[in-house]
Amino acid sequence: MTQLVKLPALIDPHVHFRTPGASEKEDWHSGPKAAIAGGVTTVFDMPNTKPVTTTYERLLEKKTLIDAQLAEAKIPLHYRLFFGADRNHFDELYKLIDPSTNKPITDIISGVKVFMGSSTGDLLMDDEPSLDKLFKICAELDLLVAVHAESEAMIRERTAQSACDDFPCHSKIRSPEVALSALQQAVVLTRKYGTRLYALHIGSRLEVEFLQAAKQEGLPIWIETAPHYLFMDTRRYQDLHGKAQMNPPLRDPADREFLWEAIRQGIIDTVGSDHAPHSQHEKEQGYCKCPSGVPGVQTTLPLLLDAYHQGKISLEKIIELTHTNPKRIFNLPDNDDHVLVDLSLTKVLTKEMLFSKAGWSPYEGLELTGWPVSTTINGQEFKL
């Protein structure tokens, strides 16, 4: 029996649509199709493109390219762009302020992204003086700072000391302690300057408990987790191999269960897909060559709806994590976008259903109950 429910459209605050510079992996034709198929009508794209988005000129060039591709795709997707933190371009941060209002140009940018640990792309800021200066400037300009929090020094030290070369090593080298070290540094700077801090892709109990304590101080901190930490853990290396590799990596089963409890308690604020597509060929390479990242913008909602049927999460909490909280945190304008879901619909996820150029999903073969059947954006309905 069909059970249709209307939900607010999802806001995904964490995607990598790979344009410019890697359009063979994703672009603003394929990425928006995957988003719409997942009930997502607003995305925040990350700056680790080629070239990296670290100057105002590049930001505008990227926006022009995106607008052209969206027009070609005939999908009026809402988007914001994260600006890349770069120790050589601090002066560019001041260009993100509208002189007429003396406030950030929030119709374009969602905040400043800093990679405290190395990941895909050429952005890395791991030295204390640069981080201190970044947090100070962003506090002065009221720019939110989103952190990829992993200690680069610890990653390098553990990599040099590690003799293993298989995928489970990834979770050991980039352990929760590696993430905690960087988070501690970020929170010290948040406490020092009052900078708004958005902690990206948090996956372990150690990180959540530390950030929870910092939030209880009254610090302006928000916690994002990602679907892969909620629906996968380190056991998946056995069958997925490189398709289970991402930064930060998968955590232990106990961490996964703790995340669900943290969601129920309202400690975690948002779920961002961290949609980071790579080709199947790339992901089939050995550990040392395999790039990190998994696609996910299309599958976040079906996974959460299936979790609803399992009693892990309420529909109200899904709305809070994927719409209400990101809208409030990033001060987004109101709209009437919505997604119609059939809570009774059960389907097996197959690669033929996917719109991302990646052409694969770590959740292939899962039987999920609860699927989007149409997404409406700006009054335009897309039947799925």
Domains for the chain: give ranges and CATH numbers.
10-336 (3.20.20.140)
| 274 is annotated as an active-site residue | yes
pLDDT digits (tens, 9 = 90+) for 102-118: 999 999 999 999 999 87
pTM of the model: 0.97
Predicted local distance difference test score (pLDDT) of residue 136: 98
Which residue, chain included where needed, has tokens 């200690």?
151
Distance (Å, whole) CA 10 – CA 41: 6
SS3 357: coil
- What are 223's two structure tokens? 């916690």
Distance (Å, whole) CA 108 – CA 79: 8
Task: Report which of 325, 355, 278, 222 is spatially closest to residue 16, judged by C-alpha positions.
Answer: 278
**Confidence category of residue 121, pLDDT binned at 50, 70, 90:** low
Q: Is the distance from CB of 12 to CB of 276 less than 8 angstroms?
A: no
Asked whether residue 228 carries a pLDDT value surpassing 70, the answer given is yes
> What's at 108, amino acid-wise?
I
Asked whether residue 205 carries a pLDDT value surpassing 90, the answer given is yes
Q: If you average pLDDT over every residue of the chain, what do you get?
A: 96
Distance (Å, whole) CA 70 – CA 8: 22
Predicted local distance difference test score (pLDDT) of residue 75: 96
**Confidence category of residue 232, pLDDT binned at 50, 70, 90:** very high
Predicted local distance difference test score (pLDDT) of residue 70: 98
Average pLDDT over residues 13-32: 98
Q: Is the distance from CB of 127 to CB of 87 less than 8 angstroms?
A: yes
Asked whether residue 279 carries a pLDDT value surpassing 70, the answer given is yes
Q: Which of 274, 306, 337, 342 is catalytic?
A: 274
Distance (Å, whole) CA 161 – CA 182: 20
Predicted local distance difference test score (pLDDT) of residue 120: 67
Asked whether residue 326 carries a pLDDT value surpassing 70, the answer given is yes
Asked whether residue 288 carries a pLDDT value surpassing 90, the answer given is no
